[in-house]
Amino acid sequence: MTTARRPPTLEDVAAAAGVSRATASRVLAGTGYAAPVTRDRVTAAADRLGYVPNPAARALVRGSGVRLVVVVAGADATVLDDPYVDRVVGAAARVCAPYGLGVALHWLPTREPAGLRRLAEDRSVGGLVLVNTTEAMLAAIPRALRGRVASIGIGSALVPSFDVDNGGGTAATVRHLYATGRRRIAMVTGPHWLSCAGRSVGAYRQVMSDAGLPVRLVPGDFTARRGRAAAGEVLARWPDTDAIVGISDATALGVIDRLRGAGVGVPGDVAVTGFDDIPLAAMTTPALTTATHPVAQIATAAATAALAGRPAPPVTVFPSRLVRRASG
């Protein structure tokens, strides 16, 4: 039985290849000159020894950081409970793995965006991905982080933005409802402080006003629970409503549940639409009409940008496609 050897270091590889540590480093890090022969010898040695570089050491000397922090703004820590956050973190973790990096998840109290400073001071932070971004957060980004921050939501001159075209998706949805004969269309919105959700509301307003129809808005918060309550309010305030646009699929599902409880037929009496196209949207009864939201794609792009270091395009918009199903 072989003695429990410690994992090989660059030193070991260098020795095995008969070169200096510096040379081995150049070859393996792919930086700087190296004679082809040397290069081969080093690579071979590394391979034979099963050498795996230590990202911590590398990060230390380069000051490049060793983890990507996903920062979610919200009133309280329960914002982290949203499955959406898990999807972002999961995608980010996949991006990080090959770099030898990891992902951490932090809640940032909406009221104290300055908490970002602490993260910026942490030399182990290689990049930041902002979720539920607000103007205040953008303003609080220390310039030291320039080029290592990406936002899923609104951005700024210093922070590239990655987001779904929820305005387009919502517009398509509302137009579809109009095209299928609905005229008294209400909407359950997202939290008012979230600008990106505002784009959906804006699109709804626009389409409605273009069609000369009245605007009917009820505040929501992306959850099914709130969707249920909101549906009740819609029913109470505008009993003749014939369609409800949900800001999210969860919202829509809550709406449908409440409607059903009230004996209202979906889509017979009231059409209901969502936004996100979660996997289960196709499985519910009635199957949900909704618009796509490529969360994993967006998170992957944002994480990649935050890690890249070089400037990304200021705004990247991912298209949202209407998915017609049975609910509306």
Residues in contact with DNA by the rule CB under 7 A:
6, 9-11, 18-23, 25-26, 28-29, 31-35, 37-39, 51, 53-54, 57-58, 60-63, 123
Candidate residues 141, 164, 253, 264; the one interacting with its own copies per rule CB under 8 A: 253
Query: To the nearest whole angstrom, how small is the minimum distance from the Cβ of residue 99 to DNA?
Result: 12
Taking the C-alpha atoms of residue 8 and residue 25, their distance in angstroms, rounded to an integer, is 14
Near its own copies by CB under 8 A, which window of 91-99, 154-162, 190-198, 203-211? 91-99
By a kind-dependent CB cut-off of 5 to 8 A, residue 294 interacts, out of DNA, its own copies, none, with none
By a kind-dependent CB cut-off of 5 to 8 A, residue 260 interacts, out of its own copies, DNA, none, with its own copies
* Residue 256 sits in the site that holds its own copies (CB under 8 A): yes
Query: To the nearest whole angstrom, how small is the minimum distance from the Cβ of residue 256 to its own copies?
Result: 7
**What CA–CA distances, in Å, run from 232 to 52, 63, 112, 260?**
59, 54, 34, 11
Q: Which is nearer to DNA, 22 or 75 (CB)?
A: 22
Phi first, then psi: what are they for 243, rounded to 5°? Answer: -160, 145
Strands, E assignment, 173-323: 185-188, 216-218, 243-246, 271-273, 290-291, 315-318, 322-323
Of residues 225-244, which lie at the interface with its own copies (CB under 8 A)?
Answer: none
* Residue 326 sits in the site that holds its own copies (CB under 8 A): no
Candidate residues 122, 135, 210, 269; the one interacting with its own copies per rule CB under 8 A: 122
Query: To the nearest whole angstrom, how small is the minimum distance from the Cβ of residue 122 to DNA?
Result: 9
Q: Which is nearer to DNA, 53 or 219 (CB)?
A: 53
Give burial (CB, 10 Å; 0-12/13-18/19+) of 152. buried
Q: Which is nearer to its own copies, 80 or 229 (CB)?
A: 80
Q: Most distant CA pair in the chain: distance in Å? A: 83
Give burial (CB, 10 Å; 0-12/13-18/19+) of 33. exposed
**What residue type is 1 in one-letter code?**
M
Site mask, its own copies, residues 53-72, x = CB under 8 A?
-xxxx-xx----xxxxxx--
CA nearest 201: which of 181, 185, 178?
Answer: 185
By a kind-dependent CB cut-off of 5 to 8 A, residue 23 interacts, out of its own copies, DNA, none, with DNA
Q: Which is nearer to DNA, 26 or 199 (CB)?
A: 26
Q: Which is nearer to DNA, 39 or 226 (CB)?
A: 39
Report helix, strand and coil shares of the chain as percent, to nearest 5: 45, 15, 35
Q: Which is nearer to DNA, 217 or 308 (CB)?
A: 308
Strands, E assignment, 110-176: 125-131, 149-152, 161-164
Buried b (16+ CB within 10 A) or exposed e, 293-312: bbbeebbbbbbbbbbeeeeb
* Residue 48 sits in the site that holds its own copies (CB under 8 A): no
Q: Tokens at residue 286, please? A: 């009635």
Binding site for its own copies (CB under 8 A): 4, 7-8, 50-52, 54-57, 59-60, 65-70, 80, 83, 85-87, 89-90, 93-94, 96-97, 100-106, 117-118, 120-124, 143-144, 224, 250, 253-254, 256-257, 260, 278-280, 282-286
